[in-house]
């Protein structure tokens, strides 16, 4: 008996191999989810107890297996995914080694229930098949892994705490779920069900405000003030496989430019589509670091893609300046007004500092910044002037004539009740005077809406909203002054706010860092 060499039994071989393939619950969950994805599942639910050491259960609605395949899948190097080494070139599945189930089942109490139409249940312990029997199950597969490492005490001893294992499992599920919005995942009742990438990213990681969209690179980056002190919130996928890449992390950071402080790591999720021959996708199951053929090129592409995710800052063509008016020349400003303002008493002792007009918004300073929606202000002013007929109608130099349709004559007379001085001559409406804040050029539009709408609050609001124009500073200040005389100065007649106040703290919080 000089021979010392023995051929190891299959079960021992599998247990040794298991050390490489399955390190901990998270790596098991990863293998099992990948199998479910390869099986074409649209729903995958995962449950773990005690961080996975007590139980890992994964259920899918994929293609399932026949009884024969279900038995074979527990054997080492048994796979349906490749037939020859050449198949590796065109591999579209996540697995291909045929090792995971053999390894997992060799270090646990293992149960598989699977159906491809006909259900099979198999129980195995430490890699030994104990029971094979028919069972009832819809198409798909359920795998339960209990008492993990019960027969490998050394490995069991080195397992992390249940909470830390649970955290790792979550990370695995979240990461895979980010890249597969077409599949609904659930983990211990928490479910990821958004079906588009943006929704999926936000449901798992929270808001990521800036979209990255370049050739071969898509994804999202979070606002710079959400950056973290570690790379924990950085997710990179190459052809939908999660990878780790300090190179890409650095490129993204450079893409943030001076928007982020030096020692912080931005949050992002990036998906790269790269032809398999320009990247080593690293087929070793545990190594996730990618190697690129042309690192410089990838670096630049990523950096530029992230740069362009930030909308360019608006450029101001000229410095904004407005000094408080000391006198008004109405002859000059009158022609530009969208309304007649001759009755406006101007009190030029401004207390509010009117700063500028942007489109139809006035910005003014009054214990903070106030944005005034000038169209809403106009609606309020016009509404009150119509309602109270206090418009002290302004005579038109040239009476306005509007053709009436048959039967409109009597109705047209009623315009007088709104302070619009008018007469009907045959089939023509002749307007002699209009209230302030309703000008002759826009009157035909006003008349058109008045014909179909009774309520003056609606007429005034809709009409003022429909007037498309940029306001001048003069128009804005007349409106603002006039608004002060209205019964309500805060809402337009339909209840929309006329102005909003932005407190200094709120402005501050828009810029302030959250870290």
DSSP string covering 258-321, please? GGS-TT-B--EEEEE---GGGEE---SSS--B-EESSHHHHHHHHHHHHHTTSPPPPPPSS---
CB of 158 to ligand ADP, least distance (A): 24
Query: For residues 63 and 402, which CB has a smaller minimum distance to ligand ADP in the complex?
Result: 63
Query: For residues 35 and 114, which CB has a smaller minimum distance to Mg ion in the complex?
Result: 35
Give the integer Cα–Cα distance in Å for 152 and 145: 15
Query: For residues 104 and 376, which CB has a smaller minimum distance to ligand ADP in the complex?
Result: 104
Q: Which does 460 bind (CB under 5 to 8 A by kind): Mg ion, ligand ADP, none?
A: none
What is residue 507's three-state secondary structure?
helix
Taking the CA of residue 223 as centre, how many other CA atoms within 13 Å lie in the half-sphere pointing to its CB?
A: 11
Which residues, including other chains, have CB under 8 Å from residue 391's CB and lie 6 or more apart?
385, 418, 419, 434, 435, 436, 437, 438
CB of 256 to Mg ion, least distance (A): 37
Give the rounded distance of the alpha carbon of 96 from its chain centre.
35
Burial class (CB in 10 A: 0-12, 13-18, 19+), 500: exposed
**Greatest extent of the chain over all pairs of C-alpha atoms, in Å:** 130
Query: For residues 33 and 166, which CB has a smaller minimum distance to Mg ion in the complex?
Result: 33
Binding pattern for the stretch 431-450 against Mg ion, x by CB under 5 A and - elsewhere: --------------------
Query: For residues 79 and 436, which CB has a smaller minimum distance to ligand ADP in the complex?
Result: 79
Structure tokens at 31: 């293998």
- Residues composing the chain: 515
Interface residues with ligand ADP (CB under 6 A) are: 31, 35-36, 39, 60, 62-65, 73, 78-81, 95-102, 141
Q: Which does 63 bind (CB under 5 to 8 A by kind): ligand ADP, Mg ion, none?
A: ligand ADP
Cβ atoms of 287 and 298 closer than 8 Å? no
Residue nearest to Mg ion (CB): 95
Q: Which does 21 bind (CB under 5 to 8 A by kind): ligand ADP, Mg ion, none?
A: none
DSSP string covering 360-403, please? TEEEEESSSEEEEEHHHHHHHHHHHHHHTT-S--EEEEEEEEEE
CB of 29 to ligand ADP, least distance (A): 12
Residue nearest to ligand ADP (CB): 95
Burial class (CB in 10 A: 0-12, 13-18, 19+), 399: middle
CB of 100 to ligand ADP, least distance (A): 3
Q: Which does 60 bind (CB under 5 to 8 A by kind): ligand ADP, Mg ion, none?
A: ligand ADP
Residues that contact Mg ion, how many (by CB under 5 A): 3
Angle in degrees, 0-180, between the axes of helices 456-466 and 443-452, rounded to the nearest 10? 140
Q: Which does 96 bind (CB under 5 to 8 A by kind): Mg ion, ligand ADP, none?
A: ligand ADP
8-state DSSP, 497: B
CB of 271 to ligand ADP, least distance (A): 23
Query: For residues 49 and 63, which CB has a smaller minimum distance to ligand ADP in the complex?
Result: 63
Q: Is 35 among the residues that bind Mg ion (CB under 5 A)?
A: yes
8-state DSSP, 223: -
CB of 95 to Mg ion, least distance (A): 3
CB of 46 to ligand ADP, least distance (A): 12
Query: For residues 17 and 402, which CB has a smaller minimum distance to ligand ADP in the complex?
Result: 17
Query: For residues 63 and 355, which CB has a smaller minimum distance to Mg ion in the complex?
Result: 63
CB of 303 to Mg ion, least distance (A): 35
Q: Which does 99 bind (CB under 5 to 8 A by kind): ligand ADP, Mg ion, none?
A: ligand ADP
Binding pattern for the stretch 74-103 against Mg ion, x by CB under 5 A and - elsewhere: ---------------------x----x---
- Partners of residue 354 on adjacent β-strands: 364
Query: For residues 51 and 95, which CB has a smaller minimum distance to ligand ADP in the complex?
Result: 95
What is residue 237's three-state secondary structure?
strand
Q: Which does 24 bind (CB under 5 to 8 A by kind): ligand ADP, Mg ion, none?
A: none
- Partners of residue 114 on adjacent β-strands: 120, 141
Query: For residues 103 and 476, which CB has a smaller minimum distance to ligand ADP in the complex?
Result: 103
What is residue 105's three-state secondary structure?
helix
Cβ atoms of 418 and 459 closer than 8 Å? no
CB of 192 to ligand ADP, least distance (A): 18
CB of 106 to ligand ADP, least distance (A): 11
Residue ranges in contact with Mg ion by CB under 5 A: 35, 95, 100
């Amino acid at each position: 008996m000089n021979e010392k060499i023995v051929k190891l039994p299959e079960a021992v071989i599998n247990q040794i191999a298991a050390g490489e393939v399955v390190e901990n619950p998270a790596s098991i969950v990863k293998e099992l989810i990948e199998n479910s994805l390869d099986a074409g599942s649209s729903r995958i639910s995962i449950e773990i107890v005690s961080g996975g050491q007590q139980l890992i259960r994964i259920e899918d609605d994929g293609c399932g297996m026949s009884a024969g395949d279900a038995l074979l899948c527990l054997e080492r190097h048994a796979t349906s995914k490749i037939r020859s080494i050449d198949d590796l070139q065109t591999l579209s599945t996540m697995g291909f080694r045929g090792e995971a189930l053999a390894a997992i089942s060799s270090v646990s109490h293992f149960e598989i229930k699977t159906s491809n139409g006909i259900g099979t249940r198999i129980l195995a312990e430490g890699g030994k098949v104990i029971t094979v029997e028919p069972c009832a199950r819809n198409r798909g597969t359920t795998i339960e892994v209990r008492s993990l490492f019960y027969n490998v005490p050394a490995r069991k001893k080195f397992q992390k705490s249940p909470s830390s294992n649970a955290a790792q499992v979550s990370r695995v599920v979240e990461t895979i779920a980010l890249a597969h919005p077409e599949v609904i995942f659930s983990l211990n009742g928490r479910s990821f069900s958004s079906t588009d990438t943006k929704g999926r990213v936000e449901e798992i990681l929270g808001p990521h405000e800036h979209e990255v969209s370049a050739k071969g690179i898509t994804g999202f980056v979070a606002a710079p003030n959400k950056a973290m002190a570690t790379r924990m919130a950085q997710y990179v996928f190459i052809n939908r496989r999660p990878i780790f890449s300090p190179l890409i992390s650095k490129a993204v950071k450079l893409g943030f430019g001076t928007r982020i402080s030096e020692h912080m790591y931005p949050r992002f999720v990036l998906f790269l589509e790269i032809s398999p021959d320009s990247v080593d996708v690293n087929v070793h199951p545990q190594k996730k670091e990618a190697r690129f053929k042309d690192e410089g090129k990838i670096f630049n592409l990523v950096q530029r893609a992230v740069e362009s995710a930030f909308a360019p800052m608006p450029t101001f063509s000229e410095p904004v300046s407005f000094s408080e008016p000391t006198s008004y020349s109405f002859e000059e400003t009158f022609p530009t007004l969208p309304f007649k303002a001759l009755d406006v008493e101007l009190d030029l002792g401004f207390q509010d500092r009117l700063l500028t007009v942007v489109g139809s918004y006035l910005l003014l300073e009054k214990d903070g910044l106030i944005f005034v929606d000038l169209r809403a202000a106009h609606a309020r002013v016009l509404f009150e002037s119509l309602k109270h007929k206090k418009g002290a109608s302004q005579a038109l130099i040239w009476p306005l004539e509007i053709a009436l349709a048959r039967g409109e004559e009597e109705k047209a007379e009623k315009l007088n009740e709104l302070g619009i001085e008018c007469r009907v001559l045959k089939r023509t409406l002749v307007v002699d005077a209009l209230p302030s804040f309703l000008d002759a050029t826009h009157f035909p539009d006003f008349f058109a809406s008045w014909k179909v709408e009774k309520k003056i609050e609606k007429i005034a609001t809709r009409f003022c909203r429909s007037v498309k124009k940029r306001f001048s500073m003069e128009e804005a200040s007349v409106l603002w002054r006039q608004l002060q005389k209205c019964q309500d100065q805060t809402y337009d007649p339909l209840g929309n706010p006329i102005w909003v106040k932005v407190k200094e703290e709120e402005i501050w919080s828009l810029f302030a860092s959250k870290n």
